[in-house]
Amino acid sequence: MPTWMVVAATFIAVFVIAAVLGRNAARRARQQWNEQYRVVLQEVQQKRHEIENALQRLQDETSFQYLRQLHWESHNLAQAVHTAFEHARDSHNSVQTAYRRSAATRERVRKERNAADSHAERQQLNVELRQFVDFTRGLGGDREWLRNQRDALLQEVRNLNARTRSLKLAIRDNCGKGGQVWYERLEARTADRRQLPPG
């Protein structure tokens, strides 16, 4: 299974585990996500480094076949990281929605508590209110953490795409007629894909 799929599955599992098993399990799941997130970032950085090295030694001994393979790998990795970004964005949006709902419920419980007639009812509503306050705080931390993960993944995709584009142009400009033909075919395939309806 590709690393990005493992990362995406782990990422989604963090929140399922948090809901089912509580904060300790969520903390362990978050640690697992962080480890896999670190692996994905290392893969991206390694691929960017390979591209930079290939571009620097392009005119020396780098083969046209190697450069095409590197471009293909980089393109696929960028797609995988973009998918992980989409999962992070969707998870962030879900946590954001849960945060808003929790905050609204917290305010409703606060108003009910203030309007309660009996001491026992106020005490019960105080317990509920503390639970919502704690839950909302936890969601706020998760929301911030997810936002940071999402933004970092987006930046990595942008950086990798920029280096991949530089590699594509270098192949076109430095690999003779074969590089030019390869580039034209790649651009034609890309244009064809853009004309297809989504789905």
pLDDT digits (tens, 9 = 90+) for 6-62: 444 445 555 544 544 455 656 666 677 777 777 777 888 888 888 878 777 765 556
Look up the domain containing 114 and give its range.
Answer: 3-193
Instruction: Calculate mean pLDDT across residues 171-195.
Output: 90
- pLDDT at position 114 is 87
Q: Output 14 or 174, whichever has higher pLDDT.
A: 174
In a domain, 156, yes or no: yes
Structure tokens at 199: 């789905």
In a domain, 91, yes or no: yes
In a domain, 199, yes or no: no
167 pLDDT more than 80: yes
Instruction: Calculate mean pLDDT across residues 150-172.
Output: 89
- pLDDT at position 153 is 83
Cβ count near 7 (within 10 Å): 27
Picking from 44-48, 108-112, 152-156, which range would have the lowest pLDDT averaged per residue? 44-48
Q: Give the global pTM.
A: 0.63
Based on C-alpha coordinates, what's the Rg of the chain?
Answer: 24
In a domain, 185, yes or no: yes
Identify the residue whose tokens are 């960028």.
Answer: 78
Instruction: Calculate mean pLDDT across residues 76-81.
Output: 86
In a domain, 140, yes or no: yes
183 pLDDT more than 90: yes
Q: Give the confidence band of 150 by pLDDT, cuts at 50, 70, 90.
A: confident
Q: How many domains does the chain have?
A: 1
- pLDDT at position 147 is 85
In a domain, 117, yes or no: yes
